[in-house]
């Protein structure tokens, strides 16, 4: 009997769904090897179909997206109950992702921004005797493992094709890794970068450039050109595709196992490559980094030590 498999998306963009579809022909092999019992983007099974399953009936649930609503929390819990294994798939499930930047603001300010002068939507609305509900949206965004115990993590925004196909190999055929493992190589992207041969032994920058300020040489190490690149602080496995696109790494694969707070460590790595011994000089060099939190915590704010901006 084929193992049952489910895919679900919380506060997600759908890119992780596409990442699975990017197996291309591999999707056909997958569909032969497993019985996909829930996948809203592609299949017509509904929530009640999952509710009717026995606990543990699903072999693996791949959940992407961050948790930021009562509905997503309930779905995460439902799938946890019905599954033997749950995989936090993608940067949002692993670390909070780009939606995690909402942890820099508050619900009240966001509502005002979105709905302006109009009344925002209501959790419960009665119209002519009919009751309509919307889920409660939390003030903060959470990675999946704050909502439920997670067995494995697959990093990336989205996970790269090789990471995805390796994941299916290991979970469906091979020996299961250590619980809690991140299913990707455990060294820095820098080590695999196609431009690493042009990386100087010692890097000392006297300024940082924003991408619109300079044309990036497509042959040389991007950080060495003064453009902030987080390759040194980021887990490998992505195939360095952003570098191939002649743009710097923005850190979507998150930390290696030797880092606890991705943004803090990423900050350290950029601070290490500047020269300057005086405050004024150092501050001038860092002027080129105009948005520290957006640069270092773009994908990982909810999973950081501080988790969110302090409420006023």
Site for another protein in 120-149 (CB under 8 A): 120-128, 130, 132, 134-140, 142, 146-147
Q: Which residue stretch of 52-60, 166-174, 186-194, 212-220 sits at the interface with another protein (rule: CB under 8 A)?
A: 212-220
Backbone angles phi, psi at 23, to 5 degrees: -65, -15
Does the protein bind another protein through residue 165 (CB under 8 A)? no
Closest to another protein by CB, 9 or 152: 9
Smallest gap, in angstroms, from Cβ of residue 222 to another protein? 11
Which residues from 167-206 bind another protein, rule CB under 8 A? none
Compute the C-alpha angle 103/104/106, nearest 5°.
Answer: 75
Minimum CB distance to another protein smaller for 69 or for 198: 69
Residue-wise over 80-90: b if at least 16 C-beta within 10 A, else e?
Answer: bbbbebbbbbb
Using CB under 8 A, which residues numbered 39 to 58 contact another protein? 40-48
How many of the chain's residues bind another protein (CB under 8 A)? 123
CB of 174 to another protein, least distance (A): 25
- Which residue of 34, 58, 63, 67 would you call a contact of another protein, by CB under 8 A? 67
* Footprint of another protein on 246-305 (CB under 8 A): 246-247, 250, 252, 259-261, 263-265, 267-268, 270-272, 274, 276-277, 279, 282-283, 286, 289-294, 296, 298, 304-305
Q: Establish if 93 lies at the interface with another protein (CB under 8 A).
A: no
Q: Which of 24, 54, 173, 178 binds another protein (CB under 8 A)?
A: 24
The tokens for 148 are 């439920």
Q: Give yes or no for a contact between 17 and 46, defined as CB atoms under 8 angstroms apart.
A: no
DSSP lists the bridge partners of residue 182 as 153
Binding piece for another protein, criterion CB under 8 A, among 165-173, 178-186, 192-200, 215-223: 215-223
DSSP 210-278: -GGGSPPPTTS-TGGGT----GGGSBS-S-SHHHHTTS----TT---TT-S-HHHHHHHHHHTTB---S
Rounded to whole angstroms, how far apart are CA atoms 255 and 177?
Answer: 18
**Least gap, CB of 215 to another protein (angstroms):** 5
Q: Is 33 in the site for another protein (CB under 8 A)?
A: no
DSSP-assigned letters across all residues of 50-114: HHTSPTT-EEEEEEESBEEEHHHHHHHHHHHHHEEEEEEESHHHHH-TGGGGGGGS-HHHHHHHH
- Number of DSSP helices (H) and strands (E) in the chain, helices first: 11, 9
CA 219 and chain centroid, separation: 28
CB of 177 to another protein, least distance (A): 25
User: Applying CB under 8 A, which of residues 56, 179, 244, 257 lies at the interface with another protein?
Assistant: 244
Mention every residue, 6+ apart, whose C-beta is less than 8 A from residue 200.
221, 224
Q: How far is the CB of 259 from another protein (least distance, A)?
A: 7
Stretch 222-241 residues interacting with another protein (CB under 8 A): 241
> Hey, what are 88's tokens?
């936090």
Tell me which of 119, 175, 178, 202 binds another protein, using CB under 8 A: 119
Is residue 245 within the footprint of another protein (CB under 8 A)?
Answer: yes
What is the smallest separation between the CB atom of 212 and another protein, expressed in angstroms?
A: 5
Residues near 129 by Cβ (< 8 Å), separated by ≥ 6? none
Query: Does residue number 27 form part of the binding site for another protein (CB under 8 A)?
Result: yes
Residue 236 Cβ, how far from another protein at the closest point, in Å?
Answer: 16
């Amino acid at each position: 009997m084929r193992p049952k498999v489910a895919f679900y998306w919380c506060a997600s963009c759908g890119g992780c769904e596409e990442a699975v579809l990017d197996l291309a022909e591999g999707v056909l092999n997958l569909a032969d090897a497993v019985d996909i019992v829930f996948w809203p983007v592609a299949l017509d099974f509904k929530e009640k179909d999952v509710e009717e399953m026995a606990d543990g009936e699903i072999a693996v649930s791949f959940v992407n997206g961050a948790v930021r609503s009562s509905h997503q929390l309930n779905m995460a819990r439902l799938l946890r109950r019905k599954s033997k294994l749950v995989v936090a798939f993608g940067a949002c499930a692993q670390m909070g992702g780009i939606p995690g930047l909402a942890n820099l603001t508050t619900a009240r300010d966001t509502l005002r921004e979105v709905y302006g002068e109009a009344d925002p939507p209501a959790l419960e609305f009665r119209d002519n005797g009919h009751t309509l509900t919307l889920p409660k949206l939390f003030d903060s965004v959470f990675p999946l493992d704050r909502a439920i115990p997670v067995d494995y993590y697959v990093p990336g925004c989205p996970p790269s094709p090789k990471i995805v196909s390796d994941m299916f190999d290991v979970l469906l055929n091979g020996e299961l890794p250590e619980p809690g493992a991140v299913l990707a190589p455990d060294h820095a992207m820098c080590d695999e970068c196609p431009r690493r041969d042009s990386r100087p032994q010692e890097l000392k920058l006297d300024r940082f450039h924003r991408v619109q300020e300079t044309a990036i040489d497509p042959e040389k190490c991007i950080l060495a050109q003064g453009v902030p690149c987080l390759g040194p602080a980021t887990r490998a496995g992505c195939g360095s595709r952003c570098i191939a696109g002649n743009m710097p790494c923005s850190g979507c694969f998150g930390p290696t196992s030797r880092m606890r707070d991705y943004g803090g460590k990423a900050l350290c790595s950029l601070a290490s490559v500047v020269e300057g011994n005086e405050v004024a000089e150092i501050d001038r060099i860092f002027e080129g980094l105009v948005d520290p939190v957006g640069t270092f915590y773009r994908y990982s704010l909810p999973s950081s030590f501080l988790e969110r901006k302090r409420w006023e």
